[in-house]
Amino acid sequence: MSGRVLIIDDDERLAAMLSSYLAGRGYTVEHRADAAAGLAQLRTGKPDAVVLDVMLPDLDGFEVLRRIRATSEVPVVMLTARGEDTDRIVGLELGADDYLPKPFNPRELVARLAAVLRRGGAGHGGSKSEARQVLRFGALEIDRDERTVRLGGEARLLTGHQFELLWALADSTGRVLSRTQLMERVRGEDFDPLDRSIDVHISRIRAAIEDDPQHPQRIVTVRGAGYVFATADRKG
């Protein structure tokens, strides 16, 4: 796995260490020490993933994430020295793909970056050999190759993590998937089944694809069991 990574963090020492570590593993790395420079680099450099610190000198990292999500689906891994559950939930609600509290092992960051890049399809460069994968449910279209979601012909913005969750559910129409099963499918490893971050992502997906997110008809909660994609009019 390789790709272009943008680090937005004012900790010069940490950024230098991460840049060296990532470069040694095949990544191309750009570092910017403040929000303004980071957002400018995002527009011009088109990175495959962003490592974003919550505490920046000019803008709160959450505000930076809001601005990123207004125009881009690029995977974002957030870093924080706080380690607060509320910060993690806020980051996920705003569209972060993953969240890592400081201090952390660089190997863990690389593993998380590799996971979000796999979900985003970055770093592969090869031609597509498989038939195009598109699921259609009435007005809803989910294109796995293009990684797009359209409702009534209009694009709906999801993060890479949210797209994979939606695909996992839609590709198993009518089958209840537990939180653990969804985490295993999306992240490829076991996670604590009590981790509620999956619920935050489901809420964001519903906001994007449901006619009435407060009364979802496509992604339905099965109390005590998990979630099911309930739409039956599957085509393709």
Q: Is residue 126 one of the residues assigned to a domain?
A: no
Q: Is residue 71 one of the residues assigned to a domain?
A: yes
Indicate if 169 and 199 belong to the same structural domain: yes
One-letter amino acid for residue 35 of the chain: A
* Token pair in block for residue 68: 């990123």
Indicate if 171 and 89 belong to the same structural domain: no
Q: Is residue 129 one of the residues assigned to a domain?
A: no
Indicate if 114 and 176 belong to the same structural domain: no
Q: Are 4 and 75 in contact (CB under 8 A)?
A: no
Contacts of 79 (CB under 8 A, 6+ apart): 9, 51, 52, 53, 54, 100, 101, 102, 104
Residue with tokens 């499918």: 185
Contacts of 3 (CB under 8 A, 6+ apart): 27, 28, 47, 48, 49, 113, 117, 122, 123
Instruction: List the one residue out of 51, 4, 49 whose CA is nearest residue 26.
Output: 4
Q: Mean pLDDT in each 10-residue stretch from start to end of the chain (236 residues)?
A: 87 91 89 95 91 92 92 88 68 82 84 76 37 77 86 87 89 86 69 66 93 91 90 50
Q: Is residue 80 one of the residues assigned to a domain?
A: yes
* Token pair in block for residue 166: 């939606």
A 10 A CB-CB count for 92 gives: 24
Indicate if 111 and 138 belong to the same structural domain: no
Q: Are 51 and 139 in contact (CB under 8 A)?
A: no
Dihedral sign, CA of 140, 146, 148, 151? negative
Q: Is residue 40 one of the residues assigned to a domain?
A: yes
What's the rounded Cα separation, in Å, for the pair 141 and 155? 9
Give backbone dihedrals phi and psi of 134, rounded to 5 degrees, phi first.
Answer: -135, 130
Looking at residue 236, what is its pLDDT? 45
Instruction: Write down the pTM of the prediction.
Output: 0.57
Looking at residue 92, what is its pLDDT? 76
Q: Is residue 98 one of the residues assigned to a domain?
A: yes
Looking at residue 126, what is its pLDDT? 31
CATH of the domain at 211: 1.10.10.10
Q: Is residue 115 one of the residues assigned to a domain?
A: yes
Indicate if 69 and 153 belong to the same structural domain: no
Looking at residue 208, what is its pLDDT? 93
Indicate if 21 and 106 belong to the same structural domain: yes
Looking at residue 122, what is its pLDDT? 47
Q: Which of 93, 120, 147 is where one domain is finished?
A: 120
Q: Which of 63, 88, 120 is where one domain is finished?
A: 120
One-letter amino acid for residue 47 of the chain: P
Indicate if 48 and 150 belong to the same structural domain: no
Looking at residue 5, what is its pLDDT? 95
Indicate if 139 and 105 belong to the same structural domain: no
Q: Is residue 139 one of the residues assigned to a domain?
A: yes
* Domain region containing 62: 4-120
* Token pair in block for residue 3: 């790709």
Helical H runs in the chain?
A: 12-23, 35-45, 61-71, 85-93, 106-120, 160-170, 179-187, 197-209
Instruction: List the one residue out of 221, 231, 222, 73 whose CA is nearest residue 140.
Output: 231
* Integer angstrom CA distances of residue 186 from 1, 20, 118, 179, 232: 17, 28, 10, 11, 23
CATH of the domain at 23: 3.40.50.2300
Looking at residue 83, what is its pLDDT? 56
Number of domains in the chain: 2
